[in-house]
Structure 1
Amino acid sequence: MFWDPLFDKASELSGSPPDQLKLIFSLLISYPLGSLYVRLPPSKPYIAHLFSVIVSTFVVVFLLELRTGMLHLLFSIIGTYIISATVDGRKMPWIAFIFVMGHLLFNHLNRYFTAIPATAIEITGSQMVLAMKLTTFAWNIYDGKQNEEHLDASQLQTRLTKLPDPLAFLGYCLFFPSILPGPSFDYASYDALVHHTIYQVPPPGSSPEQVKATKKRLPYGRKRVAYLHLSVGLIFLGVYATYGSRGAYSRILGTEWYEWSLLQRLGFVQLAGFLARTKYYAVWSLSEGACILTGIGFNGYDPKTGRTLWNRVRNINIISIETAPSFKVLFDSWNCRTNVWLRDVVYKRLTKKGKKPGTKQSMATFVTSAFWHGVDPGYYLAFVLAGVLTSLGRQLRRFVRPYFLPPASASINTPPTIAKRAYDLVGQIVVQVTLNYTACAFILLGFKDCIRAWSRMWWYTHVAIILTMAFFHFGGRRSLRKGLEKRGKISAERFSTIGQGRRSPLPSVRVSPPSPISKPRSPPPQPEDEKDPKDLRWVKHALDNPPDQDSGEAMGNGFNSPDGGWVDGIVEGSETPNVEKVNPMNSR
């Protein structure tokens, strides 16, 4: 196209491939287009549908020149719509799931065997986002035909009692700010956006007059939060463009690795991990900001402060990731929309009503997550290792963390002790060090490259895992438990089900619009307080994940953990060696 020389020149100056520059350009133009989109008349929703279809077609077909890729997207879209419209019963969403994921897997295999580099912009990235939308849509249609008493709160809010018309469905699938990097969301949210009903959530403590006014205007804070995400995205984009190649994991495989001291090697691994994440921080922040400008990010009001929430489609919490004291917090904050999708489409759907989920559900969710990412060996090496780390994290939280907590008689407002602060600091360091080791496989992808890189890192995370599991298995877990019981930190009843093959109940999550919450003790401030130009607290508020955000908790709660529970079985072995013989009904 006629603009290719411009991107080629920019590529020479920046050192970035032209297709990646085109991707960034497509995200940046979504901002002025988002400001225009939010002003489209809700009385004529077909204009909004056509707007997204035209913009996305321009980006995919003409800007990125993925013409065959666009045909793949349309194939999945049309196929899912036909299945949803013609197939009835419980099998319908599963047929749609197999169709969509099978098509995605086909393209993943094609990319792998044709040796297309992971850095190249091709259609599987967009198809991954679309797969989440399509499979979620099929279940929403299915839920719309079920009795309400058979559905949970989130399913009731996203169910569709009738099939949307083809143009509306196409507008949802090709929603322009998220056509490439995501995030995904359900059709009910898109429909509420197009008709502007998404904004009709009154602030807490509103008078009847304020409720009426709410329905006639956009909530406050949309632009500044959107442009905050734009700024964050551009900052991380600049960091990655400047230092990404210098801190690439691939340098571990070079000869220069042996010229560094041991401390330099360890430090480089941490730097490489952070720089690798900046690429995702940049793209996801830019995409989220554009989505907020369209209005899809509005998620009601914070019940404690009365401030507007714009986190409905949040995909990442950078602060929580970089300061995570545990792998649970880390995975709760990374790729949140994918976690929500895995929970809603696989994990919960495989769990029979009235039953608790177990190994089968966990493994099915893990396999889905793995194939959704691709077929490269590095994904599976990273996911399995992450699952083991998560399981060990649960053991540490259960048996080690209570030693650093204040006594049970202490007031709830008692500040953390120095020991607890030290424990949290050590936890943050351990999480980052092991995360950056694990992420190496996720970036390098090739089996030989992953193994060679880990060997040059002295297998330090694998060694730590083996030593920790050995400690728990050979009496450490039992000693820690007895010590806690003596200290009065925990009761014997708490451990009555540990090691019995039981699972915690399904995690609940609030899906926008926010679920009803208990009334705060004191009236929250009115949203007008946000307009104070000297009040910069909104910046932290906009980047945090408030408690009622629709965040996924896949890996953190263990239902996307690839170990399937076998790690818990190993570390519990010395304490309950014959548990399956005692109660074979607990075997899964």
Structure 2
Amino acid sequence: MAELIAFCNNTIANLSDLLSLPEPALRFLIAVLAGFPLAFFQRSFLHGKSATLHHAYFVICGLMLSYFNYGAESLHSASSVFINYLLIYFAGGTDISIIISFIFNMGYLVTGYIYTATDTYDITWTMPHCILTLRLIGLNFDVYDGSRPPEEISNDQKMTMLVKKPSLLEIAGYTYYFGGFFSGPQFPMRRYFDMCNGVLTDGAKGERPNCVAAAMKKLALGTVLSILNTVIVPWIPESYFLTNDFAELEFYKRLLVLAAWSNMTLFKYMLIWCFAEGTCILSGLAYNGRDKDGNALWDACENIKMFRFLFNPSFRSIVKTFNTNTNQWVLRYVYKRLKFLGNRKISQACTLFFLALWHGLSSGYYMTFMMEFVITNVEDKMVEVANKTGLIKLMDNPITKVPTYLVCKLWQLTFMGYPLLAFNLLTWRRQVQAYSAVYWCGHIFYMVLFPALYIFVLNPLLTKPKPKSDVGTKPKAE
């Protein structure tokens, strides 16, 4: 056994050198791709069999892949699963369980960040653990919702609530399911149970889903993105924004480079999500009913709506089409639960702070999500102004529609890349250097110039004064 392990390690090390890919990244990619044959085996031989058999299969496969990547550090996920099981068993369905769940799971993750953080991205056990953190917090919420009176539960919560507390094996299977353990997507335990019970199929219950073709399309798309990530992305690494070569370009060229880089830097997320989604499709987990024409839909685990993300020119579209399952999780378990605050903007700000903390402690995350909050809210005001002034009709004119779209898309790409600089550069020192090279233009426009213009000029001009009411006034004496 020791000789076999040594042979595998040497092979991976040699392959890492051949592909010029760091060994942790190669192991991570192998683990994600391993989901395809594992899911095909599940679909071929386990579909329609007992749910217990599914749970055991997912636990064994998931733990093996986790050990392949992280060795003994796999104990971090195992211990979290066991502690959350104890929490649900002894206190599940109570307010205190939600509080403890947040404190323990987020505290464990943040502690991991403290001990593993560097100035660059490192693939460590904290990467799948951040996925696990949301999954276990959401699980505690679903058990909590299942214990509440029906009149207190929203329709959204009724779709995910768990009336019965799950067993340790069920929680472990839900955790280590190879289609979602390493990179997501997020999905509720109810959906996982439906998959294990053979409910998620486009045929009769118990029949294997006809999902192979749909899964292969995602595998092909992920492969194309992998090639693009290997060939194109090295042209403009994020380190380029810290060089004198970048700083010495003409200002408009610096912005064009930023616009070109903005989508390229996200290829690495897109390709992994495509592979993970393909695994979920092949397992049947992604079945989402049928469309109006009766065609089976396999998009329940879709993490990026590719066409809309690439071609829609608004910033709101980025939020709605990128990392969609995580966004839905945050909407369901954080944003909507903050309704008691009585203010949507405060709830949005708190939600984005939670997301920043979930990503890590580097200042770049907080800068990125702060800028997301500012940019999307400024865009809302810009749309409001365009509607009130009739500019929106001019933009929709057939003559001006194409040039308007191109300008808006270029603007979006530029200022999508702007906050992503902080996300990729992480440290404050590197952010200052990069933002100084473009004169902090995003901060100045979105946080100073447009707000001042809107408050002091546009809003007063576009706000119609309310007519004075004559009710209650006394007639003048003659």
Normalised TM-score (structure 1): 0.74
Code of the residue aligned with 2:61 in structure 1: it is V
Instruction: Give the corresponding residue for 1:271.
Output: 260
* Residue 300 of structure 1 pairs with residue 300 of structure 2: no
Asked whether the equivalents of residues 84 and 96 of structure 1 are also in contact (C-alpha less than 8 Å), the reply is no
Deviations 1:374-409 (A, max 9, x none): 0001111111111110110110111214524459xx
Instruction: Give the corresponding residue for 1:318.
Output: 306
How far apart in 2 are the matches of 1:290 and 1:151?
32
How far apart in 2 are the matches of 1:259 and 1:459?
16
* Helix, strand or coil at the partner of 1:349: helix
Q: What's the CA shift for 1:422?
A: 4.5
Asked whether the equivalents of residues 142 and 161 of structure 2 are also in contact (C-alpha less than 8 Å), the reply is yes
2:48 alignment partner, one of 42, 46, 49? 42
Asked whether the equivalents of residues 158 and 188 of structure 1 are also in contact (C-alpha less than 8 Å), the reply is yes
RMSD: 2.3
1:17-32 matched pairs, under 5 angstroms: 17-32=22-37
Instruction: Give the corresponding residue for 1:285.
Output: 274
1:492-531 matched pairs, under 5 angstroms: none
Q: What's the CA shift for 1:350?
A: 2.7
Q: What's the CA shift for 1:322?
A: 2.1
Q: What's the CA shift for 1:433?
A: 1.0
Distance 1:258 1:434, change over 3 A: closer
Instruction: Give the corresponding residue for 1:215.
Output: 205
Instruction: Give the corresponding residue for 2:470.
Output: none
Q: What's the CA shift for 1:198?
A: 2.2
Code of the residue aligned with 1:427 in structure 2: it is C
Q: Which moved more, 1:464-473 or 1:429-438?
A: 464-473
Instruction: Give the corresponding residue for 2:356.
Output: 370
Q: What's the CA shift for 1:357?
A: 4.1
Code of the residue aligned with 1:396 in structure 2: it is M
Code of the residue aligned with 1:343 in structure 2: it is L
* Helix, strand or coil at the partner of 2:338: coil
Q: What's the CA shift for 1:51?
A: 1.3
Instruction: Give the corresponding residue for 1:342.
Output: 330
Asked whether the equivalents of residues 404 and 423 of structure 1 are also in contact (C-alpha less than 8 Å), the reply is no
Instruction: Give the corresponding residue for 1:464.
Output: 445
Asked whether the equivalents of residues 237 and 279 of structure 1 are also in contact (C-alpha less than 8 Å), the reply is yes
Deviations 1:299-348 (A, max 9, x none): 11123x32221111111122222223221111011111111111221222
Q: What's the CA shift for 1:116?
A: 6.9
Instruction: Give the corresponding residue for 1:233.
Output: 222
Q: Which moved more, 1:7-16 or 1:417-426?
A: 417-426
1:197-216 matched pairs, under 5 angstroms: 197-199=199-201, 214-215=204-205
How far apart in 1 are the matches of 2:318 and 2:190?
29
Q: What's the CA shift for 1:173?
A: 0.8
Q: What's the CA shift for 1:360?
A: 4.3
Distance 1:43 1:33, change over 3 A: closer
How far apart in 2 are the matches of 1:89 and 1:60?
32
Code of the residue aligned with 2:28 in structure 1: it is L
Instruction: Give the corresponding residue for 1:543.
Output: none
* Helix, strand or coil at the partner of 2:234: coil
Distance 1:433 1:401, change over 3 A: farther
Q: What's the CA shift for 1:272?
A: 2.3
Q: What's the CA shift for 1:122?
A: 0.5
2:417 alignment partner, one of 432, 436, 439? 436
Q: What's the CA shift for 1:442?
A: 0.5
Asked whether the equivalents of residues 385 and 458 of structure 2 are also in contact (C-alpha less than 8 Å), the reply is no
1:86-97 matched pairs, under 5 angstroms: 86-87=90-91, 88-97=93-102
Asked whether the equivalents of residues 160 and 188 of structure 1 are also in contact (C-alpha less than 8 Å), the reply is yes
Asked whether the equivalents of residues 249 and 269 of structure 1 are also in contact (C-alpha less than 8 Å), the reply is no
How far apart in 2 are the matches of 1:396 and 1:264?
25
* Helix, strand or coil at the partner of 2:179: helix
How far apart in 2 are the matches of 1:371 and 1:332?
20
Asked whether the equivalents of residues 322 and 432 of structure 1 are also in contact (C-alpha less than 8 Å), the reply is no
Instruction: Give the corresponding residue for 2:70.
Output: 65
Instruction: Give the corresponding residue for 2:182.
Output: 180
Distance 1:80 1:333, change over 3 A: same
Code of the residue aligned with 1:299 in structure 2: it is N
Code of the residue aligned with 1:473 in structure 2: it is I
Q: What's the CA shift for 1:48?
A: 1.0
Instruction: Give the corresponding residue for 1:78.
Output: 82
Instruction: Give the corresponding residue for 1:497.
Output: none
How many residues align structurally?
457
How far apart in 1 are the matches of 2:383 and 2:144?
39
1:251 alignment partner, one of 240, 260, 266? 240
Asked whether the equivalents of residues 183 and 287 of structure 1 are also in contact (C-alpha less than 8 Å), the reply is yes
Asked whether the equivalents of residues 66 and 123 of structure 1 are also in contact (C-alpha less than 8 Å), the reply is no
Instruction: Give the corresponding residue for 2:20.
Output: 15
Code of the residue aligned with 1:106 in structure 2: it is T
* Residue 100 of structure 1 pairs with residue 86 of structure 2: no
Distance 1:359 1:273, change over 3 A: closer
Q: Which moved more, 1:415-424 or 1:141-150?
A: 415-424
Instruction: Give the corresponding residue for 1:411.
Output: none
Deviations 1:161-197 (A, max 9, x none): 1112211111001111221111111100000000011
1:524-543 matched pairs, under 5 angstroms: none
Distance 1:390 1:41, change over 3 A: closer
* Residue 117 of structure 1 pairs with residue 107 of structure 2: no
Instruction: Give the corresponding residue for 1:164.
Output: 166
Code of the residue aligned with 2:180 in structure 1: it is S
1:141-152 matched pairs, under 5 angstroms: 141-152=143-154
Code of the residue aligned with 1:283 in structure 2: it is I
Deviations 1:498-542 (A, max 9, x none): xxxxxxxxxxxxxxxxxxxxxxxxxxxxxxxxxxxxxxxxxxxxx
Structure 2: which 5+ runs fail to align?
A: 468-478
Code of the residue aligned with 1:65 in structure 2: it is Y
Deviations 1:446-471 (A, max 9, x none): 11101110111222222322221221
Q: Which moved more, 1:148-157 or 1:425-434?
A: 425-434
Instruction: Give the corresponding residue for 1:383.
Output: 369
Asked whether the equivalents of residues 105 and 133 of structure 2 are also in contact (C-alpha less than 8 Å), the reply is yes
How far apart in 2 are the matches of 1:186 and 1:431?
33
User: Structure 1 or 2: larger helix share?
Assistant: 2
Q: State the identity %.
A: 25
Normalised TM-score (structure 2): 0.90
1:388-427 matched pairs, under 5 angstroms: 388-401=374-387, 403-406=390-393, 417-420=398-401, 422-427=403-408
Code of the residue aligned with 1:214 in structure 2: it is A
Q: What's the CA shift for 1:481?
A: 4.5
Structure 1: which 5+ runs fail to align?
A: 201-212, 408-414, 486-491, 494-588
